[in-house]
Chain A
């Protein structure tokens, strides 16, 4: 059997030296940020955190084309698993994060197994994810051993890096920054592999790729596994950062919306889409939350408006708009 063709950079435009240097400069600038403008750290942490989870959604929704309306199920599972392990058994959340990730993958593969086997897709898949998230929400509400409706208060045991507990925001800034960079790198690498191409093939035409020998069931399962694992790890960080979780703020529908809106608005199926969407949406939600404290839903109203505008006028997200403008400028220059 001939060796499968090694994917090379010719599958997509390679990065020139200039691009690498500017990326490096951006990274350095981001590392200096806590000392330059310390006030924005909370917003930056939330931007990176939701960029990580949005990237998780993006692998399944953007690349493999399976829109999930219930990614909060992985987010919540990740938050609960590590927090329960920490509160009840005293296990370090670093360790717990691996369990969260594993639990997310197992749940993802289970949901994927039951739905993709029967060729569930489109709105049906979106709804079944929603149903799973709601079931977990109901269980978390009722089950007293996991805190019930009151949720879990994670005790702060002082500054202890081994337990992922810090008195300052800076460590969380670097953790989320590096996880975000890691998720970008992972998806960037994934895009160039055969599996990455199978994702796109399955998204574009399920039946045609099946006819050409792509095992679409396996492809969707892999996408689901990566997606669920990434989102669950984000849940652990969220729980350790806020030190409090309850069923509504983790398994709630609003969280599924928060997670999926970032890649959709930034540009689904692109590496930078989730980050871009998060850069736009996160500060917006934080600002409106401060400006309209008595009306907790105003940021969702603006989300809804942005979503409608993006779907109607920018189906490729903000990144599509940026790309168009960029190419137009390029044409004009030369």
Chain B
């Protein structure tokens, strides 16, 4: 195993990790604000990928312009999901919300099988062939761009959450919903917007990797479990934690891929997951009390 191979793997891990970060930030935002563990996050990623794929295939837009379509579409899907399905049972026991999102994801994924068949679809784009070389290390343009777009949206999300009134309202609603309500914040609207943003993060994350990743109805499961690992690692509801966690898991997966056969590479992140859940369920950056 040469040095450049190690660097190559780590670089690829880091680039994918950035996308994990974005997807997981959406998941952790939804959890932080509504205390809903969104099992349908993988389906939202899948929908984002399909929207990007069809925009390119049917509307002939540039793959990276399709992100501008994916964001509003997924925002609307996420917000309606929240309004019509989550909101009516927002006060039910938490496992009911978990099961509801599981039901929705089963429905959406198999609807996708029904509508678009279970075939793997690969987006055809001229970018996919372009590579940069630094010494022995190859940087693929599409992976780099996916990373950059994910980082850009993650940065925008962070600025919105910390610097704007909307962000302040979202943070208030997640920390103390009743207090926020008393201060005149429209909690229902905040829930709607947060779910919309969370879904859009998932969708954009999916759209960003579509130029180099096949699209198929069950693709979401590859990412949703990773997203849970990232979210738990970073601390449930912690946006910055999810960001750092995504990069860590991306690197951990690439280390796994160096030593283990292909389908075993996620075993490292699963092991991290179990260890974190057992010994520090509040995550890397969480306080010790639950």
Contact = CB atoms under 8 A, between A and B. Distances in A.
B137 interface: no
Contact of B106 (A138, A139, A300, A315): A300
A128 B273 CA distance: 8
Contacts of B267: 135, 138
A300 B274 CA distance: 28
A120 B278 contact: yes
Contact of A312 (B85, B105, B225): B85
A307 B103 contact: yes
A297 B274 CA distance: 30
A311 B114 contact: no
Task: Among B104, B105, B106, B279, find the residue whose CB has the most chain A CB atoms closer than 10 A.
Answer: B106
B76 interface: no
A122 B100 CA distance: 14
Given A128-B277, A311-B89, A298 B102 contact: no
Given A131-B270, A311-B99, A311-B100, A297 B107 contact: no
A257 B104 CA distance: 13
A214 interface: no
A115 B276 CA distance: 11
Contacts of B278: 114-115, 118, 120
A142 interface: yes
Nearest to B279: A118
Nearest to B272: A131
Given A296-B113, A307-B106, A134 B263 contact: no
Given A120-B278, A312-B85, A297 B104 contact: no
Nearest to A311: B100
A305 B107 contact: yes
Contacts of A306: 103
A329 B213 CA distance: 57
B287 interface: no
A309 to B, nearest CB: 8
B111 interface: yes
Contacts of A292: 114
Nearest to B269: A131
Contacts of B221: 253
Contacts of B105: 304
Contacts of B114: 292, 295, 297-298, 301
B42 to A, nearest CB: 11
A127 interface: yes
Interface residues of B, number: 43
Task: Among A114, A126, A305, A311, find the residue whose CB has the most chain B CB atoms closer than 10 A.
Answer: A311
Nearest to A122: B94
B37 A304 contact: no
A126 B149 CA distance: 32
A299 to B, nearest CB: 8
Contacts of B94: 122-123
Given A127-B228, A134-B225, A301-B110, A308 B103 contact: yes
B266 interface: yes
B77 to A, nearest CB: 15
B95 interface: yes
Interface string A216-258: 0000000000000000000000000000000000000100010
Interface in B193-236: 217, 221, 225, 228, 232
B103 A298 contact: no
B96 A311 contact: yes
A257 B263 CA distance: 22
A49 interface: no
B281 A315 contact: no
B261 interface: yes
B118 interface: yes
A308 B98 contact: no
B118 A311 contact: no
B183 interface: no
B113 to A, nearest CB: 4
Contacts of B277: 115, 118, 120, 124, 127-128, 131
Contact of A138 (B95, B110, B263, B281): B263
B88 interface: yes
A177 interface: no
Interface in A137-151: 138-139, 141-142
A67 B106 CA distance: 18
Contacts of A67: 95, 98-99
B153 interface: no
Nearest to B266: A138
Interface in A307-326: 307-308, 311-312, 315
B92 interface: yes
Contacts of B263: 138, 141-142
Given A264-B99, A298-B110, 11 more contacts: A67-B98, A124-B277, A130-B225, A131-B225, A138-B264, A292-B114, A295-B114, A301-B111, A304-B108, A311-B92, A312-B88
Interface of B: 37, 85, 88-89, 92, 94-96, 98-100, 102-111, 113-114, 117-118, 217, 221, 225, 228, 232, 261, 263-264, 266-267, 270-271, 273-274, 277-279, 281
Top 6 A-B pairs, shortest CB-CB distance:
A304-B106, A307-B103, A304-B107, A301-B110, A297-B110, A308-B103
